[in-house]
Homo-oligomer: A and B are copies of this chain.
Amino acid sequence: MSEKNNQDFAKELANIDEDFSRWYTDVVLKADLADYTDTKGCIAIKPYGFAIWENIRNYADKLFKETGIKNVYFPVLIPESLLQKEKDHVEGFAPEIALVTEAGGEELEEKLCIRPTSETMFSVLYSKWLKSWRDLPMEYNQWCSVMRWEKETRPFLRSREFLWQEGHTIHETKEEAVARTVKMLDIYAKIVEEMLAIPVLKGVKTDKEKFAGAEETYTIETLTHDGRSLQSGTSHYFGQNFTKPFEVKFQNRDGREEYAYQTSWGISTRLIGALIMAHGDERGLKLPPRVAPVQVRIIPIAMHKEGVLEKVEELKNTLNKNFRCEVDSREQVTPGYKFNDCELKGIPLRIEMGPRDIENGKCILVRRDTLEKREVELANIEEEVKNTLEDIQKSMYEACEKRIEERTQVALDLKEFEEKINKKQGYIKAMWCGDVACEDKIKDLTGAHSRCIPLKEEKLSDKCVCCGKEAKHMVVWGRQY
């Protein structure tokens, strides 16, 4: 960057409305979030991208711990035989597994999988540790990376290796396990809505779309700028599907042996993809203040004039007491370049300050979300910054909410479904009979997958949008990334 000229940054990005997919990759690379590596399908998360993940992780971890979750770390390698113990699970994951076959200069007797997820490892360890109902619940979580050998990859959204947390819990009763599953969904919704400023759709996956081995998969879905659906967090109720084959059993209160009831739940660096795709615009990234690594960047104007840099540093130190603030004092680029860079990186608030501003005891605030410019008194700066950041957080949520509303449509028959989604990509609400054949047909015809049966149930008609038979549920459909 250091040697680049002061050119129009926006021109370096693909047009967001013409080629959203390329715009996305451009933003990932040019805003310094991540880069490609020599390991195909795996990205390097750069400091700016990783700082976003740290903010999400720290907030999530705090919320988890408040509900009694404890962190652990279990092996990244899982013996192949363990993975094969639950039939649906192995069928779901086998095609995406990476295998270690040689180690320490020798061929291994048993191949080892790099974990694609750790239900099997947690189950076998829980079976070792669980004795009595008094040991329950066991509610453990790990922050780690997982590996799924995807054919098509895209930074953050679908990477062969990605960072996530996987929580795995076992319980004395079905009711407790279901309650934990739902509670985690609520926590995920809170993280995405309150921190990332993205409204979520909460619901249950259909059998076809649920996790390999789960009884029920709960999901939060978000909608991208171009109206595609992103599965942004899932929480699974397993019943005894794993605890039976893995013999995770305990002596219950009646002194009898019983298999435990299990859950798992995860969010990943995919949330960074959701963030870019929900808020970004033609100038680049747009970060909500709560998750932004830098909330305020101060750009000195005429910075070689006496006193400017000192004043700017002073302001930074004042703001750093309550905000994440930095100064862009690079010498080799112009203020114009710095404004563009600040916008590209999605920094919520920019402060411009030059000799005249200092003389008048003022500075200029520029919001990233609306690009609104405002002169404020330096005397009130802390209050102004606080209020503006809060307003940005709120406005970004509302803007996103409005877009989702505009892109949510109802369809009562297939023709309407097809026309509406082709005209304006987004969520389609439509009734469904419960038959996977209709799900498949809708997908083939429109490219839309069932996203979920929303927790807030709705009834649009009595008939399945596809076959016209009696409808069981209202389903939200959408094309996905």
Contact = CB atoms under 8 A, between A and B. Distances in A.
A379 interface: no
Nearest to A149: B104
Contact of A51 (B71, B100, B112, B132): B71
A112 B73 contact: no
Contact of A77 (B47, B96, B161): B161
A79 to B, nearest CB: 5
Interface stretch (A36-44, A175-183, A258-266, A284-292): A36-44
Contact of A96 (B82, B104, B124, B163): B104
Contacts of A111: 102
Contacts of A103: 97-99, 149
> Which residue of A54, A74, A96, A105 has the most chain B CB atoms within 10 A of its CB atom?
A74
A123 to B, nearest CB: 11
A43 to B, nearest CB: 8
A271 interface: no
Contact of A37 (B46, B74, B147): B74
A140 interface: yes
Q: How many copies does the complex hold?
A: 2
B161 A44 contact: no
Given A44-B125, A102-B101, A76 B2 contact: no
A67 to B, nearest CB: 14
A333 to B, nearest CB: 10
Interface string A430-441: 000000000000
A356 interface: no
A307 B51 CA distance: 48
A134 interface: yes
A244 to B, nearest CB: 18
Interface string A21-36: 0000000000000010
Contacts of A105: 94-95
B73 A45 contact: yes
A118 to B, nearest CB: 10
Contacts of A77: 39, 42, 98, 147, 161
A239 to B, nearest CB: 23
B72 A124 contact: no
Contact of A100 (B94, B95, B100, B134): B100
A105 B46 CA distance: 30
A149 B53 CA distance: 30
A215 to B, nearest CB: 25
Contacts of A99: 100-103
A149 B103 CA distance: 6
Interface string A228-262: 00000000000000000000000000000000000
A108 to B, nearest CB: 9
Contact of A50 (B54, B71, B94): B71
> Which residue of A54, A73, A150 has the most chain B CB atoms within 10 A of its CB atom?
A73
Given A98-B102, A99-B102, 19 more contacts: A2-B135, A3-B132, A38-B78, A44-B74, A44-B125, A45-B73, A45-B74, A47-B71, A50-B72, A53-B73, A94-B105, A96-B104, A97-B103, A97-B104, A98-B112, A99-B103, A100-B114, A104-B150, A144-B145
16 contacts: A2-B131, A2-B135, A35-B125, A37-B125, A38-B78, A39-B77, A39-B78, A39-B112, A42-B75, A42-B77, A44-B74, A46-B72, A50-B70, A50-B71, A97-B104, A114-B114
